[in-house]
Each structure stands twice: as C-alpha cells, then as structure tokens.
Structure 1
Amino acid sequence: MLYFLIFLSVFLIMECVTWLTHKYIMHGLMWYFHADHHQPKYANVFERNDIFFVIFAIPSIVLFYYGVAGGINHLFFIGLGITAYGICYFLIHDVLIHQRFKWFKNTNNSYLKGLRKAHKVHHKHLGKEHGECFGMLFVPFKYYKM
C-alpha cells in the first residue's frame, strides 16, 4: 500500500513539476529548445523540444536502477510514477493534442476536449512571453465549459 501511495503521489506531483518546468525553464532559459514547438509545423518528425523527453527520462532511469538494487524499494516506485506521468503526457500532448501520431483523431470526451482547448490557448502565443495554461493533465475548469 505504501508503494502505491508513493507512486500515486509522485504521479500527481509531476503535474506541478511539469507546470513549473514548462513556465520557468522551457519558456525561460531553455526557450531555444522549446521555441520550435510554438512554430508552424513542417515535415520534420522531430523537434528540438523533444529533448525534454530525454531530460525527464534520466531521473526515471536512475531511480529504476537504484530502485531494484538489492531488491525493489521506494526509489523504483518514484521512477514508476515519473514514467507513468511521462506516458500520459506523451499520449495527451503528442498523440491527442498535436496529432503527431494519428491514433485518437476524434473524441467527444469533455475532459479531453478541455485539455485540447487549454493547450490551444497556450499555443496562441508564438513567443515565450504571455504564456498561459502550462499544465498538462489538470487545466482550469473554464476550458471544460467553453
């Protein structure tokens, strides 16, 4: 039960980490890597912005490594929470919203529609200033009602 609570807590905390990272790092000192994500898309499959998947994967990999050393421990479940959030982020952001993979083209789910609307509001700003809606899985309720 404790390990499940660790996993769930880390998964939920990752939304806060993502929000802070997106607002202050991606739209701040690492804008160079994130900028192409806010520009019109061309034929490129990859963006410089994809480096953030690697950056977020590194702590998970390290935690998995040390989380199985001498038997599974709490570090493994912290890494699992980060990884589970990353999978959800990928499915929501790259598959559902940006359609980089054409798996879920149409949805009538109000939660998923709200996520799409909030992300469109985020992308209406092509520069790093004046951004809003930096989260991914939890966005303001007003987007569910629009």
Structure 2
Amino acid sequence: MSFWPALLLFLATVALMEGFAYVMHRWVMHGWGWFLHESHHRARHGNWELNDLYAAIFAVPSFVMILGGVQLGWWPGFTWIGAGIAAYGAIYFGFHDVIVHKRLPTRYLPKSAYMKRIIQAHRLHHVVETKEGNVSFGFLIAPKPEDLKAELKRRGRAGVRAAAGVERERVQGTSSRT
C-alpha cells in the first residue's frame, strides 16, 4: 500500500475511534459492561481497577489487524487500521489516565481552552456514581461544561456524588445548614 492512502486510512481510523469510544462508553460500559466500568466511578485503591481490563479488550482488534496485515498476508490496510486503533488508545491513555486522572505523575497544567474543556467534561461525567444519569461519554470531543451542568441539573442530579462536606455531615448526622 502506498504512503498517502495508508496515512489517510490511519488518520481516518484515529478520527472514527472517537465515535466508537463514545458508543462503547455510553451503551456498553454504562450498560451491560458496567460490572467492569463501575470501578472507574469509585475511588481507586492501588494502581489498578477492574475497568483497566477494557484497555486489554480494546487492544485485541488492533493487535490482530497489525499481525494480519504484517505477517499473515491480509490486506495491508489492516495494518494501518490496527495502527490507528493503537494510536487512539495511546492518545486516550495520555489524556484520560495521565492528564485527567493523574495515574502517572506529571506537572502538566492545561492552558488551552480545548484541554480545559475536555478535562472539565470528563470530571462532570465522574460526578455521577451510577450507571445511569451520566453526561459526556466521548473524550476527545466534549460538549460545553455549561451544557453538561445544565443537563445534570435537569435530570435532578440523580446519582450525583455528594460534596465531601455534605457527605461527612450526612454520615455524622450533623448539619450546619438551617
């Protein structure tokens, strides 16, 4: 396969992976696959969470396509599709696990409006601890945080995690509010 079609296939795959990630997050991870993803909406204890298995699951098609395209005599385009899937996974890991969830230490501070927007959108996704009632399922393309906050308010904040002070008061049975 010549360079330009291969590059186009690679870039198209990276771009289309955002749609695939949205669908998988919205209807699988927050659907029948919640048994794995639920750990990602709770406090993590240690370096790993059950949700990390999704990275291994989603790496399988990439690995198989690269192997097939390079070693098994399949259509060479599969190599570039597999590489595009892997590239999206690397981008997702960098944004999601390193920048947003700080699973690896970094001194990075977002400065661009785009980075601030996707980080805030993902954090608003995480204020809901339940399978239902979430907002913002994509990652590299995110709605405006104001729209997400309005949607959470419209839904009556069902499943929304209480603020730390409010939760402490509820557990202790005290309240400073009148």
TM over 0.5: yes
Summarize the alignment of residues 82-97 of structure 1 with structure 2, pairs less than 5 Å apart.
82-97=85-100
Q: Retained in 2: the 8 A contact 1:96–1:104?
A: no
| 1:108 corresponds to | 111
Superposition misfits of 4+ residues, deviation over 3 angstroms:
143-146
Aligned-residue Cα RMSD (Å) equals: 1.9
| 2:47 corresponds to | 45
Q: Which amino acid aligns with 1:100?
A: R
How much does 1:143 deviate?
3.2
Q: 1:144 to 1:2 in 2, by over 3 A?
A: farther
Which residue of 52, 57, 60 corresponds with 1:58?
Answer: 60
Q: 1:2 to 1:41 in 2, by over 3 A?
A: same
Q: Retained in 1: the 8 A contact 2:69–2:77?
A: yes
| 2:39 corresponds to | 36
- How many residues are paired up? 144
Q: 1:144 to 1:48 in 2, by over 3 A?
A: same
| 1:16 corresponds to | 19
| 2:84 corresponds to | 81
- % identical equivalent positions: 36
Deviation track 1:6-49 (CA, whole Å, cap 9, x = no partner) reads 1111111100000000010000101010001101233x100000
Q: Distance between the aligned counterparts of 2:30 and 2:63, measured in 1? A: 25
Normalised to the residue count of structure 1, the TM-score between the two structures is 0.92
Q: Distance between the aligned counterparts of 1:144 and 1:9, measured in 2? A: 30
